Structure 1
């Protein structure tokens, strides 16, 4: 096989110059239109018109002819870039598509799509039947021509609609999702019609078998995508995140799936955009593909590839051909029929679909955009000999004009659509999920030696992740030197350091032997896994042997890429300046690159392990209104919703101390009012997450002692707190109130250090 010659120097230079000019003009015009309150996509579409034969070809014909009036093979290089942009734009659309919402509105979407197909198809067919013969490439095939015009009038431009909805911030609204759903059904039917008409043009007879094959291909592809593709995509994303753990690897995986699916649908004659859209939908349902990754992909697409796609589509527009009065007159008639057909079809069924007038106007305006989809249809018609050059220019003009009309109509009508309470609640929850600490968790590390503290930590983590798509890894670290002294210096979780005593002066706490053999390590893992309860996925078991400190081994593992490390460890400190925890836990909390949660239990749980499994009926949640308190609140509410527990949100106002016994009590009404707002805000979040919540605002000159008192009085089962780690004298200091609670609470305490 002979080596393929590389692209020529001039051809490569030309395509680079073309892309430079297209992107430059598209971005300049998009920013200009954005600055006057118009969607950027309008400027991007006009960029191609400006650089095409309509303007540059008239004003500076020599420049146009040398740069853009090129051979078909040269222009195909631009088309490849355009298709990559189109595929990426459809992936973005899929990522923003709520498939559950669309399914819930499936009946409405089908009604709208039928209205958006039947009426435009009928009016388009009638138009094709009466158009003058000079506009028909083969006057003896008027039936084929009329069917083709009808099909062209029925198409909508999902990429244009999606871009406008994204720019208007309406793609997540019910109306945006409904437009996308109806548009996808609309286009699917449109492509089936196109396949049928194309078959008719090639053979001269209606090819029903081709139409049936297309319908069957769509159904089979969608069925396999959601039955087989969904777990395949989810598994691949999780594997890449676990093994490679980089954003670039995840973004590459997304594009590989999109291109592969696009190749499959293109092979089936369904167009590559369908496969790309479906991949976007599937990946959008995988929690591992975070909001930050979506935003990164969307930024790349909307800033580079989408502008190029729209600008290249505009290059096909030739206003010169419309200078002929006859061509212009027919063009205006075709444009009027196209707009009337879509609006009449959508408005005619919007009432039947239970939509308001403004919703009908918005959907009609959106689905009226034809964009590149109609340009593709026109190109196919020209290649099949169905359209004349003039008719091709008219259809391209309609595609551009309707795409320019859609943003203005939707910008005008969307603000007039009243947001329902159900929709407002959904959008607020989506906003919370984007910013949520708990929802951002994808990987959690739980180091363990099998003690009661770690087992109770597993109990809490099990309730936390049961409804989340989270990978949990259990880690057991063994030092190379198995002597007790070495193990104690290493500071394993669950061990007392020499010379220190348990809370309350109890010196007889149970120590957990360091597991050495595989059987013992297996039993350690089993004890922890039992406390996790039923989970969709079993945790991974990781065993590490180290010659260095245990903390180094844990930190090395954390650095692989975890979102939370959970440590089970009781308080050891009892003297001022002494660390609360063992050297291992203290060092991990200080140096971990991710949030850390330390769970401490009373020593009685060592002696009576069954207490670990006692129901969690009441959770105490101290809060001071900081971000770390909010993160701890999310943990508490998520656990409470799973355990059907009551969360008591408490804010303690710190009463200023005074040495003057005759001084009047300070007026703390403003502080109490602020505390009330703090607990009410957290309580609202708890109710959104499905937890039962009560609130308390107390005043004390010793907030830590007050929290312990409340926990004892109300029979609290576990305390969940947020705190910031502050390095003091080489140890992690969580604040005097937090440390007092950890040392004196009558129940387990979980402290989250997330900042």
Structure 2
């Protein structure tokens, strides 16, 4: 029923109808996600349904658009050509989300680990995008489908750090988006809307687009068993077209499917629906209450956002062939489940019995236990992540660790035998390895008086003792202990170690601070599904209080500590006292190393450094 004047010269009406119908059904994922996030609904159940629906709809829409463009290039529907296009798209999608996903992941990881250039990964991502766009062009559909699928695969890459993602967004925002919208703006002529007939047709187009989108989403919500209010919110949320519609319209204009007048009408429709969507969605979402189960999930995810272990992106592990190394490898699997992990294995403890690939087996064992624990807790288990092994026959040098660390790791976990001296200090070998890494450290240590056998953590084993004092490092240690306990089932005791002195009244600031710290850790334990025991000790020195508790069926001590400035690895008198006196293994997690170079000092003075 569209007037013939709106058709492009030489185009088939059925092809233009297919293109326009598909274009009207697409939503802008970016606009939907931005509004849902601004409404603090991104983590709500309904917010996730709206955004997920927009993503799935967008993906299907781009496939249909690509096929429609393949039809348009032939000027009419040819069954043989259509069958070839459909088969090509199906094969491309099947390959992309199976073997292609692995190829993209490996390419990004290899580039990140091999090249020292600042923008090497961004270059490879753009090359992947161009290559996949070329493939879709060769099978007879538009390049936009290849670029879109490439974006999905790149976004799923486990090596795509926040730093690299920020660089990529900068290139897109600063270069591609202004150029695209500038070109699109040059193709739009708003003066055509002065014609009353075209203005009425534009209003009709907006009405058809809005009613069709709202009606389809609302009916889908009703069929899915959602409430009437939720259906209205889904319908309002899916109505924004945003930049996606402009992209589709630009493609249609470039291949001669739509005219310049219809292009202007489509762009106008996209602007109006995008402007109308935020207030209507805010109104719809404001009428929805929050259920108890959803409230608990949001509280758990809020704890995750402030966590260290949950936001760890990549793990570097340095272990020898001894019992400490194997125990550290197991803990690395528990902590790093679902995170890319690199293991640097080195020779070391002479009393050990080397077993080929034992460390990889321990890491896999810990990761598998983590996945099983997630299933039991009704959480999504972590996906299997790349595990890289590098073996050094000679003692591992600081240069080798520093070279590997440059590839980008969130934490270094070290498990070396005979790393603790009788006075609670550290061996030269451990100092060298730890000194080569600038980020957070996790040390698995066996004090001099502890036997060869390392603990087997479990429900019937000794407790994990977690000393805390209210600092950020202590909270990080508690989080690490709870992450291990949630997988192994080992009982946990949190010991608040206060400064020596007499017990203070309950209404003092110090006492309230202790209760606030323990309350925060109890909330953290609830997040991990671990029941903990808490206690406060204030009548003895910290090391004495910890040592006294360590003698009461404690299998492992986990402490958050702070590095002291200097070339030597020092964590303070309390840590040295614990390593000197406690009869069980100790796990230390520290903050990032203090920067001592001139550049670091200047950055700290100017307020731009991380410290």
Regarding TM over 0.5, the answer is yes
Per-residue deviation, residues 531-559 of structure 1 (Å, max 9, x unmatched): 5563676652332758xx96676566656
2:136 to 231, 240, 265: 265
Per-residue deviation, residues 368-422 of structure 1 (Å, max 9, x unmatched): 3344554555556667776555444333332333233334433544444445555
Q: Distance in 1 between matches of 2:117 and 2:525?
A: 33
1:726 to 542, 560, 564: 564
Alignment partner, residue 523 of structure 1: 354
Alignment partner, residue 602 of structure 2: none
Q: CA deviation at 1:473?
A: 1.8
Alignment partner, residue 274 of structure 1: 145
Question: Judging changes above 3 Å, is the alpha-carbon distance between structure 1 residues 734 and 219 closer, same or farther for their aligned structure 2 residues?
Answer: same
1:542 to 380, 391, 400: 391
SS at match of 2:157: coil
Alignment partner, residue 119 of structure 1: none
Are the equivalent residues in 1 in contact too, given 2:15–2:76 (CA < 8 A)? no
Q: Distance in 1 between matches of 2:99 and 2:302?
A: 30
Which of the pair is proportionally richer in helix?
Answer: 1
Long gaps (5+) in structure 1? 1-128, 477-492, 495-511, 514-519, 658-664
SS at match of 1:473: strand
Task: Write the mapping of 1:463-542 to structure 2, written as runs, cut at 5 A.
Answer: 463-476=334-347, 512=350, 523=354, 532=363, 534=365, 540-542=389-391
Are the equivalent residues in 2 in contact too, given 1:199–1:206 (CA < 8 A)? no
TM-score by length of 2: 0.78
Alignment partner, residue 442 of structure 1: 314
Alignment partner, residue 319 of structure 1: 190
**Are 1:355 and 2:226 counterparts?**
yes
Alignment partner, residue 378 of structure 2: none
Q: CA deviation at 1:226?
A: 1.9
Per-residue deviation, residues 106-132 of structure 1 (Å, max 9, x unmatched): xxxxxxxxxxxxxxxxxxxxxxx2x55
Q: Distance in 2 between matches of 1:285 and 1:133?
A: 45
1:636 to 448, 471, 481: 481
Are the equivalent residues in 2 in contact too, given 1:566–1:598 (CA < 8 A)? yes
Question: Judging changes above 3 Å, is the alpha-carbon distance between structure 1 residues 287 and 155 closer, same or farther for their aligned structure 2 residues?
Answer: closer
Are the equivalent residues in 2 in contact too, given 1:136–1:145 (CA < 8 A)? yes
Task: Write the mapping of 1:543-582 to structure 2, written as runs, cut at 5 A.
Answer: 543=392, 558=405, 561-562=408-409, 563-568=411-416, 569=418, 571-574=420-423, 580-582=425-427
Q: Distance in 2 between matches of 1:565 and 1:710?
A: 26
Task: Write the mapping of 1:151-300 to structure 2, written as runs, cut at 5 A.
Answer: 151-158=22-29, 160-161=31-32, 174-187=45-58, 190=61, 206-244=77-115, 248-300=119-171
Q: CA deviation at 1:724?
A: 0.9
SS at match of 2:312: coil
SS at match of 2:308: coil
Long gaps (5+) in structure 2? 368-383, 593-611
Question: Judging changes above 3 Å, is the alpha-carbon distance between structure 1 residues 689 and 243 closer, same or farther for their aligned structure 2 residues?
Answer: farther
Alignment partner, residue 689 of structure 1: 528
SS at match of 1:523: coil
Alignment partner, residue 654 of structure 1: 499
Alignment partner, residue 213 of structure 2: 342
Question: Judging changes above 3 Å, is the alpha-carbon distance between structure 1 residues 529 and 232 closer, same or farther for their aligned structure 2 residues?
Answer: closer
1:301 to 162, 165, 172: 172
Task: Write the mapping of 1:605-644 to structure 2, written as runs, cut at 5 A.
Answer: 609-611=452-454, 616-644=461-489
Q: CA deviation at 1:529?
A: 5.6
Q: Distance in 1 between matches of 2:43 and 2:505?
A: 47
Q: Distance in 2 between matches of 1:598 and 1:736?
A: 17
Q: Distance in 2 between matches of 1:741 and 1:223?
A: 56
Q: Distance in 2 between matches of 1:437 and 1:299?
A: 26
Q: CA deviation at 1:351?
A: 1.9
**Are 1:716 and 2:592 counterparts?**
no
**Are 1:367 and 2:238 counterparts?**
yes
Q: CA deviation at 1:149?
A: 4.6
Q: CA deviation at 1:619?
A: 0.7
Q: CA deviation at 1:745?
A: 0.8
1:679 to 518, 521, 532: 518
Alignment partner, residue 539 of structure 2: 700
Q: Distance in 1 between matches of 2:491 and 2:529?
A: 11
Per-residue deviation, residues 619-653 of structure 1 (Å, max 9, x unmatched): 11111122211222232122222222112111122
TM-score by length of 1: 0.65
Aligned residue-pair number: 568
SS at match of 2:354: helix
